[in-house]
Structure 1
Amino acid sequence: MASLLATGPQALAGAVELAVSSRSLLRGRSTHAQIIKSLYPLPLPSFLSNHLINMYAKLDLPSPAFLLLSLDPYPSVVSFTALISGAAQNNRPLLALNLFPLLLRSSVRPNDFTLPSLLKAAARLGCPLAGLQLHTFSLKSGLLSDVFVTSAAVDMYHKTGLISHARHLFDEMPHKNIVAWNAVMTNAILDGFPEAAMDAFIRLRLAAENPNEVSFCAFLNACASVEYFRLGSQLHSFIIRIGFDTNVSVGNALVDFYGKCSSVVEARQVFDSLVIKNDVSWCSVIVVHAQNAEEEEAFRLYLATRREGFIPTDFMISSLLTTCSGLSGLELGRSLHAVAVRSCIDGNIFVGSALVDMYGKCGSIEEAEQVFELMPERNFVTWNAMVGGYAAQGNASMALKVFDEMTRRDEVKPNYVTLVSVMSACARGGRLKEGMELFEEMEKRCGIKPRNEHYACVVDLLGRAGMEEKAYEIIKKMPMKPSVSVWGALLNACRIHGKEKLGRIAAEELFEIDPFDSGNHVLLSNIFASAGRWKESIEVRKEMKDVGIKKEPGCSWITWKNSVHVFQAKDTSHERNAEIQALLAELLQRMVAAGYTPDTRFALYELEDEEKESELYQHSEKLALAFGLICIPHGIAIRINKNLRVCGDCHQAIKFISGIVGREIIVRDNVRFHRFKDYQCSCGDYW
């Protein structure tokens, strides 16, 4: 005992608490060993036993904590509460609830700290029956009068789906503290009722209760979810007035709110004004720029976080990977994949799902497959990303295979996005029978009613098979108003098969829904031009000009050595233009010798044939391809992106070039991926 007294029991207890706060198991075990050495052969005092139990429980080591509890001849409520609280906090709700009967059998009376932890465990487990029993016990033991116990019960009822119980209990509370109000607001948002959260905040203020950072964050999240910009801005003014604008959590919530309301400037102003920035701050502002089509700034900020010494988080990396998907930035995505591996977050389900999605949308389906197969756990986002990757490639067989595996394993249920991807793959892969069967049985098989997106896939599916009239009959019988995607699918089918009359009907519907979309006018004009009906084609173009509709200029881009090279039609500004033109001339000779004939059907009819052909040779995707052939070594696939649909002549020309030069060429237009190899394209000449 002299050794213990020399060290000081309070000092040892402080060392144990330091181990908890620093989450250092090594420090905790060393202190435990020193305590045993100092006391031997005397028993462990209760207050030190409580500290050690709390340490092991908080550090998620329930076995040594339970052993210490069993060695105490007179365990106290403090010991049991420490173990229960640690289990609840470390996502061991079942262990926490199983300790409660043991506590009662030990003749220990739970207190106002024990029950909130137990109610939290019941909420985490999603077990309303256990929650009801704990509520009853709290009522009988008189502990329900404690505002923290009642607040925990309100939170438990919300999280276990007993919303009416939660509201009734909350309304009966004689004094509602800020914890109770926050429980109501945060759960209202989680349950999808942002207006209820806003209403609770207003009632909180009317009750003269002072909100805290949790209250402000909840209100801002509610405003963000429904994009109530004015209301959120008013709260921002109130936050500044009472001095909460320096709080980093509130600042992060403001950045997120302004970002979701598409107010990038305001979001950036809040971020820049934060005195203290944590990893959530950086993640929030990166996502703001990524979600508002400012991908380059998002990546610039990411590099700034690395310079500041922040370790990349799963949320940050998954958000940036989504940005790569939008940019088709395969090399950027690969770099982020390497960062995820180095940071040991590549096994995270959200990062893994984002990787599958990124590789699929960037056209590297093989790498998407590798990540998918290595994932220890998959959610519906993961499965949808894999199916969507195959759909973008037009690989119906693999999309159907993954879909069948998903439904057979029964890990997650397909949602409407899954079915859109599978049916889209069937349409692009020409699997009419499988696609129609899935559409007809989707409600019975998956419990999902067809939406506009599914009808668009069916129209595309039938259109590919040359069954435009049947597709039109299905559109007329739709239980909802057909969307742009439905009529657009029919118009494209009419373009492919030269159905001018039906194409005009689809185009007129599209003009009514979206009169300023240039793409629909161009498609209709091309249908008439393809049929040699130049008068109607010119009339459509004239209508566009009369109402002020301008066709978006086509451009293509290709990445080489960390630089993006952008080309527009007839572009001569590139520094290697002379080499590009020389290679195009050489390729044209070899293509003509192999049987290529320029497709001039869509060129202006006033031009002579030679002029039409000259126009076609200078299309942006051909310029980008020539640059890729000059720079990118043999054996590496050439990847080109285009903002518009690839034209018929370019599609035909790239097929020839792929065979002539023996290269794989991947073109991503605004509809799908085209993988050209050995004179063939993965789309089967339908896009």
Structure 2
Amino acid sequence: MGLLFGLHGPHCLEILQSAVNGDFVPVRRPYMVSRESLVKLFESCRRGKCLSQLHSVTIRAGLTDDILVASKLAELYSKYTSFHNACKVFAEIPQRSGHVWSSILRCYLEEKRYKEILLIFTHMFPNQKPDACATRVALQACAETKAFGLGKTIHGFVKKKSNFSSNLFIGACLIKMYSKFGEMDDALCVFREYSNPDKVLWTAAIAGCKLNGAPAMAIELFARMVRTKEVGVVPDSITLSSVVSACTQTSDLRSGRSVHGYMIRTGMDYDGLSLSNSLLSLYGKTGSARSAAKLFEKMEAKDVISWGSMVACYAHHGNALEALDLFDDMVAKGIELNAVVLISALQACEATCDVERGRRIHKLAVREGLEFDILVATALIDMYMSCCVPDDAIQVFNRMSEIDAVCFSALLHGCVRNGRAYKSLVVFRDMLANDFRPDVFDAVKVLTACSEVGVLQQTSCVHGFTLKGSLSNDPHIIVSLIESYSKCGSLGDAIVVFEHKIDRDVVTWSSMVAAYGLHGKGLEALELFRQMIEHSSVTPNDVSFVSILSACSHAGLVRQGIDIYNLMVKDYKLQPNTKHYAIVVDLLGRAGELDKAMAFIAQMPGPVDANVWGALLNACRIYHNTEMGEFVAKKLLESDPCEVSHYILLSSMYAADKNWVDAAQVRNKVRHKELKVVSGQSVVEIRDRICTFVANDRSHQDFVQIHEMLTLLEEKMVYNDTHQFNYHA
């Protein structure tokens, strides 16, 4: 009965039954199995067991040497049993025609044995010229193995065979081959040789252009294809997927909508999941969340790519909460998660600073075995750093078995962003030790860390790295070096960096002005600002004026500072922001012009920022104007009630006025509100080693010796009424 299963037709059944029962005698029996009948039986075969019995019939019929029968038999063995059995049948064929060789090559193609295909194909030429089918298979193998030379040779053979040169299937294979080689000029040259290309040729050319970074050409070819009047040349789902992907590459939403409109008009708008996913990707990457959502709702079938595209669309275009809700829905429905979906969901958590949801997604990543996927792990580091839990990010990094430069960069940037300057320097060192090359942005971040630490030696080392890595001429590096050197106390090194930069932009000029101001050199800052205005093509911007106003404030240059402010407003027509207002108030406050500072605030447009009130409160503290200080403090705490430094400033004002009761009440408020006070710390560098000291810290290993030395120093210092320390040797 096993023989009968998979065979169709009463005549075939009778013939096969007589043959299997042993009643078959080629000449004497009425049901002699002819070559044509056996081929029909082969076509009806659907199972391996039937095939082995058919093979037996073939042997009894004496047709094993028949080329057509043998090749059909081999093809069926390859399809329903094993490639090895097919090869055994091929080996028994004494004389192999072009058809037999083509069958052999097709079997090898199904097994993806591309190198063997090319070896067999090259051995065919001495005895047998390949037919069109064998040529197509060989061209596909050339494309897969990047055998460019052999592919060109086969193309030459095709041109010599006049009947091949008009074969559209061979043309499509040539276009695909050249596309995979990255030779789109040759691919399009082949395409133009066909005066009436069919759908397959058009699709191959469009897909090739998309693959090789020519999406605009792909869109143009599609437009020409749609306009053609040839019968049967109608784009299918593969063509449409390629052109939609091309629109995505160029962010050409208008063309993408036109393609979608064509699909709707021709009834192909939901023709296959792959095509729908391509449209989702287009709308998602171009920020058309509404169109993507409508399409997503109408899709009857959805896979993880569909869900992932929609989550990414929301996450990357300002709809982080919707992205997380959709992700939760996806998890509830039991949709399989992949790395892409997890990364998009983590980015949504990063945008909303929702660390709890981020931790839940982290657990899902662990469950799916994707925690240590390098892209997922990097997204976890970014998420934890953005949610201000750097310890969790560091733990993820430390557990990773495979680390790349992007992981190091994520950890480095996150440490700087979260005030872990020392840790970021360690990460930078480890990055170099692991032979990863930091880029410009990594160097800028580590220079920022050096500025925060205030260690000159570290800045010099990073400067050396930028020189060695040919990064020192980058404008971002120049600005960061100037800032870092100046904050580490070496104004001279900052000046050297500035003077070596020939084509200075406005940011470079502004950074050097700020460096002078930081060191109290207001007159030098004013002179440099004058040079920028009069002797360069640079026009100062709002940042430039922040730098020069700060320099005037630090140096107590009140009149010059007011002149600069008027220059900004009247001559350069720049609208002041809260930073400018705060500096002017600070400038007047440092000079003791508290009434003028209050009048200046009164004429400011809009609500007054906390920084402005803070600058005036500090001036009230310095000049013991408690009455004004209390009014300013009230305004300050109304605008920013959770900033602990404001309470400390108010308490210091009361303490300076010896009003200990009110000072204590303010500090009690800080404790009652559970506001955290950032401990002060200092840094020294001893023998290339950074040592930090935190206020009230008793955990330092040299705590006793340090305090003994401090006590000794205090005995040699006298604090007088002018708030100046005199050192007695």
TM-score by length of 2: 0.61
Distance 1:122 1:48, change over 3 A: closer
Distance 1:500 1:35, change over 3 A: farther
Pick aligned residue for 2:269 from 133, 144, 147 = 144
CA deviation after TM superposition for structure 1 residue 223, in Å:
1.1
CA deviation after TM superposition for structure 1 residue 218, in Å:
1.0
Distance 1:100 1:318, change over 3 A: farther
Q: Secondary structure at the match of 1:176?
A: coil
Q: Secondary structure at the match of 2:402?
A: coil
Say if 2:122 is the partner of 1:6: yes
Distance 1:599 1:139, change over 3 A: farther
Give the distance between the partners of 2:181 and 2:274, measured in 1 at CA: 25
Pick aligned residue for 1:359 from 476, 482, 507 = 482
CA deviation after TM superposition for structure 1 residue 192, in Å:
1.9
CA deviation after TM superposition for structure 1 residue 180, in Å:
2.7
Pick aligned residue for 1:133 from 223, 246, 258 = 258
User: 1:613 maps to what in 2?
Assistant: 726
Instruction: Describe the superposition over 1:481-538 as per-residue Cα deviations: whole angstroms up to 9, x where unpaired.
Output: 5444212222344567776654554356557745665762586379x6xxxxxx6477
CA deviation after TM superposition for structure 1 residue 283, in Å:
2.7
Aligned AA for 2:513? Y
2:614–2:646 Cα contact (<8 Å) kept = no
User: 2:409 maps to what in 1?
Assistant: 283
Distance 1:516 1:321, change over 3 A: closer
Say if 2:387 is the partner of 1:258: no
Give the distance between the partners of 2:526 and 2:396, measured in 1 at CA: 47
CA deviation after TM superposition for structure 1 residue 216, in Å:
1.0
Give the distance between the partners of 1:346 and 1:70, measured in 2 at CA: 50
State the percentage of identical aligned residues: 21
User: 1:175 maps to what in 2?
Assistant: 301
Give the distance between the partners of 1:230 and 1:297, measured in 2 at CA: 25
Distance 1:102 1:325, change over 3 A: farther
Give the distance between the partners of 1:253 and 1:94, measured in 2 at CA: 32
In the TM superposition, what are the counterparts of 1:339-418 in structure 2 within 5 Å? 339=465, 352-353=475-476, 356-363=479-486, 365-366=494-495, 369=498, 387=510, 390-394=513-517, 395=525
User: 2:565 maps to what in 1?
Assistant: 435
Most deviating of 419-428 and 225-234: 419-428
CA deviation after TM superposition for structure 1 residue 226, in Å:
1.7
Give the distance between the partners of 1:122 and 1:286, measured in 2 at CA: 36
Pick aligned residue for 2:649 from 520, 534, 542 = 520
Give the distance between the partners of 2:485 and 2:260, measured in 1 at CA: 53
Say if 2:371 is the partner of 1:241: no
Aligned AA for 1:520? L
User: 2:175 maps to what in 1?
Assistant: 50
User: 1:101 maps to what in 2?
Assistant: 223
Aligned AA for 1:139? I
Q: Secondary structure at the match of 1:174?
A: coil
CA deviation after TM superposition for structure 1 residue 233, in Å:
1.6
Instruction: Describe the superposition over 1:317-375 as per-residue Cα deviations: whole angstroms up to 9, x where unpaired.
Output: 4443443343345554454455456556778xxx7535523532442554665797669
In the TM superposition, what are the counterparts of 1:485-634 in structure 2 within 5 Å? 485-494=611-620, 502-503=628-629, 505-507=631-633, 509=635, 513=641, 514=643, 520-521=649-650, 524=653, 536=658, 557=683, 562-564=688-690, 601-602=722-723, 612-614=725-727
User: 1:155 maps to what in 2?
Assistant: 281
Say if 2:434 is the partner of 1:308: yes
Most deviating of 540-549 and 184-193: 540-549
Aligned AA for 1:174? E
Instruction: Describe the superposition over 1:32-58 as per-residue Cα deviations: whole angstroms up to 9, x where unpaired.
Output: 66667887866985355324432354x
Q: Structure 2: where are the runs of 5+ without partners?
A: 1-97, 99-117, 125-134, 487-492, 518-524, 696-702
Give the distance between the partners of 1:101 and 1:403, measured in 2 at CA: 54
Q: Secondary structure at the match of 2:438?
A: coil
Q: Secondary structure at the match of 1:613?
A: strand
1:463–1:493 Cα contact (<8 Å) kept = yes
Give the distance between the partners of 1:7 and 1:311, measured in 2 at CA: 49
User: 2:62 maps to what in 1?
Assistant: none
Say if 2:118 is the partner of 1:118: no
CA deviation after TM superposition for structure 1 residue 219, in Å:
1.0
Give the distance between the partners of 2:651 and 2:512, measured in 1 at CA: 28
Aligned AA for 2:179? N
Pick aligned residue for 2:597 from 471, 476, 486 = 471
CA deviation after TM superposition for structure 1 residue 557, in Å:
4.6
Distance 1:517 1:96, change over 3 A: same
Distance 1:417 1:64, change over 3 A: farther
2:207–2:242 Cα contact (<8 Å) kept = no
Aligned AA for 2:359? S
Q: Secondary structure at the match of 1:602?
A: coil
Give the distance between the partners of 1:112 and 1:355, measured in 2 at CA: 52
Give the distance between the partners of 2:305 and 2:279, measured in 1 at CA: 11
2:247–2:256 Cα contact (<8 Å) kept = yes
CA deviation after TM superposition for structure 1 residue 214, in Å:
1.1
User: 2:66 maps to what in 1?
Assistant: none
CA deviation after TM superposition for structure 1 residue 408, in Å:
8.3
CA deviation after TM superposition for structure 1 residue 193, in Å:
2.0
2:311–2:344 Cα contact (<8 Å) kept = yes
Instruction: Describe the superposition over 1:291-329 as per-residue Cα deviations: whole angstroms up to 9, x where unpaired.
Output: 332233333233333333434345544443443343345
2:219–2:246 Cα contact (<8 Å) kept = yes
Most deviating of 211-220 and 76-85: 76-85
User: 2:77 maps to what in 1?
Assistant: none
Give the distance between the partners of 1:566 and 1:194, measured in 2 at CA: 40
| CA RMSD, Structure 1 to Structure 2 (Å) | 5.1
CA deviation after TM superposition for structure 1 residue 393, in Å:
3.5
Give the distance between the partners of 1:572 and 1:304, measured in 2 at CA: 33
Q: How many residues are matched?
A: 553
Say if 2:187 is the partner of 1:187: no
Give the distance between the partners of 1:400 and 1:35, measured in 2 at CA: 72
Q: Secondary structure at the match of 2:726?
A: helix
CA deviation after TM superposition for structure 1 residue 242, in Å:
3.4
2:618–2:649 Cα contact (<8 Å) kept = no
1:521–1:540 Cα contact (<8 Å) kept = no
Instruction: Describe the superposition over 1:432-474 as per-residue Cα deviations: whole angstroms up to 9, x where unpaired.
Output: 24424646899xx67x7x6644532342355467653243234
1:357–1:389 Cα contact (<8 Å) kept = no
1:426–1:434 Cα contact (<8 Å) kept = no
Aligned AA for 2:247? A
CA deviation after TM superposition for structure 1 residue 101, in Å:
3.3
1:360–1:385 Cα contact (<8 Å) kept = no
Aligned AA for 1:133? S
Q: Secondary structure at the match of 1:455?
A: helix
Q: Secondary structure at the match of 1:245?
A: coil
